[in-house]
Amino acid sequence: MRNIDEDTITPAVLAAMAKCGNERLLTVMSSLVRHLHAFARDVRLTEEEWHQAIGFLTDVGHITDDRRQEFVLLSDVLGLSMLVTTQNNRKPAACTEATVLGPFFVNGSPGYENGDDLSNGARGRPCFVSGRVRGLHGEPVADAEIEVWQSDEDGFYDVQYTDADPAHQARGRLHTLPDGRFHFRSILPEAYPIPHDGPVGRMLDALGRHPWRPAHLHFWIKAPGYEPLITHLFRNEDQYLDSDAVFGVRSSLVVDWVEHPAGMAPDGTAMPSAFHTLDYEFVLNPAGQGQ
């Protein structure tokens, strides 16, 4: 291990890991070392650039906490999150496409019944969401757990408010009915910038990139016998559909939110002002089905 130089450092590091008893870990780390060293050689990385990179990653770690996941944000804007999502969610063409989880999912969101208002006081124009969950062969999926979360009209998720009261707004869990259908009330999603007051935002500025995401509603659907589905529904005609900061848009997930004048809502509520409706059918892939 003595007298290692720039030509012998890579095989030396690989040799040092040869006794690793975890085959998958060895595969991943060996590839990481080879590609990382190749990158440094390709760009002829300077010591100053190396120090800046270490400082950047340190800043990412410092700003990350239970309410903000800057590392996920970094993965998102570099396209890594969507790459991993895509290569791990190959499904038959008829199935609903997956997209990124994003940095604002939280465990322990409140449970609701069909027809409830998941906004829980979050600001935004009223929106009535309905739909159906079925399997690849057309069968209704009863009692599927649907987790929903979204930002408010100002572009913030509840976890971004330090003094949020109540703690959970515009997010919740419900289950499909025996016929696979579901319905709830929420608010109209709006386009918003990802958090850009930290190191990831500074990186986007330096690269000449904007931080905006098109308006969307998150869904995480789980049901026994089916692969879980993490996806978004995007509002049609949003100006950021073709420049999503995290590369998550899929044409099959772009849908119309229909605007209605004041009047009777789908659940029988008399609405004194305009409201929107959304209806969508999700198609799950049976577990073990593959592509």
- In tens, the pLDDT along 21-48 reads 999 999 999 999 999 999 999 999 999 9
* Burial of 242 (C-beta count, 10 Å sphere; 0-12/13-18/19+): exposed
Mean pLDDT to the nearest integer, 106-128:
94
pLDDT at residue 204, as a whole number? 98
What are the extents of the domains in the chain?
Answer: 1-45, 74-284
What class is the 74-284 domain? mainly beta
Q: Does 241 score more than 90 pLDDT?
A: yes
Q: Does 289 score more than 80 pLDDT?
A: no
pLDDT at residue 291, as a whole number? 59
Angle at 126 between CA 116 and CA 130, to 5 degrees: 55
pLDDT at residue 160, as a whole number? 84
Q: Which residue has the tokens 């019944």?
A: 113
Mean pLDDT to the nearest integer, 1-12:
91
Q: Does 80 score more than 80 pLDDT?
A: yes
pLDDT at residue 186, as a whole number? 97
User: What percentage of the chain exceeds 70 in pLDDT?
Assistant: 98
> pTM, whole model, 2 decimals?
0.89
Strand order in the sheet with 181-187: 181-187, 126-135, 275-284, 258-260
Per-residue pLDDT of 130-150, as tens digits, reads 999 999 999 999 999 999 999
According to DSSP, the β-strands at 181-187 and 171-175 are unpaired
Give first-to-last CA distance, the chain, whole Å. 47
Q: Over the chain, what is the mean pLDDT?
A: 94
Which residues, other chains included, contact 204 with Cβ-Cβ below 8 Å and sequence gap of 6+? 77, 196, 210, 211, 245
